[in-house]
A and B are shown apart, each in its own frame.
Chain A
Amino acid sequence: MIMSEISKQNLDKALNVLNTEEDGKLLTHLNACVHCALCADSCLYYNVFHEDKYIPAHKVELVTSVYRRYKTLSGKYLPGLTKAKDLDDKTITEMIDLLFGACTMCGRCVSHCSIGVDIAYLVRKGREMLSALEKVPETLQSTVQAAVKTGNNMAIPVEDLVDTLTWLEEDLKDDTGDETARIPLNEEGKNVLYTLNPREPKFFPLSISAMAKIFHAAGESWTLSTEMYDVTNYAYFSGNDEEAAIIARRLYETAKKLGVKRIVLAECGHGSRAFRWEAPNYLKQEFDIEVITSVELIEEYIRQGRIKVDKSKNRLRVTLHDPCNLVRLGGIFSQQRYILQHTVSDFEEMNPYGYENLCCGGGGGQLSMSEYNERRMKIGGLKANQIRETGAKVVVTPCHNCVDQLLQINGFYKLNVQIKTMAEIVADALI
């Protein structure tokens, strides 16, 4: 059934994803797995469901078995020897279910792999194949399409955004007692172009207020763009580099047009990764504008004394959830800890934490794919246990995607904690 819907052109495009002639990294990782299954314990899905299909090596095998079938001599002439698989209905169905529906691409299995196979990278390659076959789950694809067509993944009209920002600016004036306090829009020549996760203007405007207060306190020269402010890039998750490039280019060109010195990425794990690390490769150019995350910026403000904070203003016990794309796959580890050291009085790490932290379960586009909600909430149980063990009353995480998942976990597992962004906890500590 599935194969009859796929054009020859798309099939070729999908198989071309596995071309290794000019890609030593792909060639290596496609040939390195030894099927030891020791990666199983590092996967949230396997740990919760204990089904063989969730072993990361099994997900890798879905991609590598197709590679062997079409791209190696042994796979072409002796497919049974290595279980080389045809890209047929059965394989594609399994790929959709496991590569989209049972992997958050958190990368935890990668550093624990006995060989060093970049499993998350191969899962992304599998997603690229499915994207070429036009088999991305519709729920995820519609999020990407909204961003491509409207400039933000929630299709928020500019007028609505401006309305929200206008009343937030009024609040900012009241809160700071400064009538000159502003949320600048589309202003040229500023130091910082700040971005937003569209969930902020839509559902969590107070996190915008929090960041605006920090900018105000730091005396920062900054602006938002109403033309392009979306930090997210769900095409990274869908596996479509062309659409990812459209989204990334829009942000880069907006920054160039406004003549800013820095692009500051809002608290969004995958958004930070997609723009900081992947976008230059989508666009095949080195960026001539500095790109940093808001976590790095806030740390810089505290270190330089540009904002003054009092940790006694945050007395409840706080724990930190490390977003996978920002920490394990983005290298932002010490900055958020430095910030919390200065802004909260009682901090408790989760176990494990940092590079070893468990994914919240909402990564990899899972929050967009409602068809996998049940799985997502079940794997979130591991995070719920981690939070409960800390005894924390507040969970801070520098990622709106994680905030969403943690809010749902909070309700589902009755944790009775507050979930906050880094900007919110810092704004609460401002003096």
Chain B
Amino acid sequence: MYWYQILSLASFVVCLIIYSFILLKIIRLGKPRDYAKPSGDIQAGIKYSFTGALNPRKKESAYLHLPTYTAGLVYHAGTFLSLLLYVLSFFYLPYPDLMKIPIAVFLLISGLAGLGILIKRISLKKMRTLSNPDDYLSNVLVTSLHFLTSFFLMGYAFAVYYLLTAFLFLYLPVGKLKHSVYFFAARYHLGVFFGSRNIWPPQNA
């Protein structure tokens, strides 16, 4: 292993430890005790929160902004794929070209989606007002991950790839990228809240 691979792996382990700590804390705390008698089914509410409530036809944030929503979906798919490929990279698996090229192309597309989201953040006043340096940095790091993973698959940018991931994993627990954990917790808590009050699943769905 090269030194930059070791560095990357070390930061990955640190990131995993911190994320595990965050996750364990969320699990330990669970949901706040609610003394009000539920009128609905909390489990059904949680299930709906992760399924029907995420239906783009149900969310203005999706159906009123379809290009952004689509870019977001592609971008997140590319992120998870990149993380998976990062882990696999240490196993030195031989990828056939038939598999490698489509994946690399997809990651270029997902990287472009991320770039599009970044341009939107920079160009729209309402997003600039809301944004902080962490928003820009997080996007740049993750978008770069997509592009570099693509290049890495095609046999380029070996060292740069591991150096970027080393920095990315150290940065993951610092800023907004933590939403990769909190997203799931937020959906859970919404499911509890709306499920308990018989709002989710909706009666008119």
Contacts and interface: CB of A to CB of B under 8 A. Distances in A.
Nearest to A72: B174
B35 interface: yes
Contact of A27 (B29, B126, B127, B202): B29
A341 interface: no
A28 B132 contact: no
Most A C-beta atoms less than 10 A away, residue of B53, B60, B174, B187: B60
B176 interface: yes
Interface in B190-205: 190, 193-194, 197-199, 202-204
Nearest to B137: A81
B182 A25 contact: no
B37 A286 contact: yes
Given A24-B29, A42-B60, A277 B197 contact: yes
A134 interface: no
A405 interface: no
Interface stretch (B64-72, B102-110, B153-161): B64-72
Contacts of A281: 34-36
A68 B164 CA distance: 26
A228 interface: no
A347 B37 CA distance: 33
Interface in A97-123: 110-118
Question: Chain B's interface: helix, strand, loop or mixed, by majority?
Answer: helix
Interface string B145-189: 000000000000000000000000000001110110011011111
A183 B186 CA distance: 47
Given A111-B58, A277-B197, A58 B182 contact: no
B178 A31 contact: yes
Given A35-B130, A280-B35, A116 B175 contact: no
A53 B125 CA distance: 11
A331 B37 CA distance: 13
Given A25-B32, A38-B65, A55 B130 contact: yes
B131 interface: yes
Interface in A1-45: 22-25, 27-29, 31-42
A31 B178 CA distance: 8
A24 B132 contact: no
B122 interface: no
A61 B124 CA distance: 18
A430 B169 CA distance: 68
A112 B130 contact: no
Contacts of B175: 74, 81-82
A276 interface: yes
A354 interface: yes
B39 A25 contact: no
A115 B179 contact: yes
Given A31-B182, A35-B176, A116-B190, A40 B29 contact: no
B133 A80 contact: yes
A329 B182 contact: no
B61 interface: yes
Contact of B61 (A114, A287, A355): A114
A333 interface: yes
Contact of A52 (B129, B134, B174): B129
Nearest first, the 3 A-B pairs at minimum CB distance are A24-B29, A38-B61, A280-B35
8 contacts: A28-B182, A29-B189, A42-B61, A58-B129, A112-B60, A115-B182, A115-B186, A334-B203
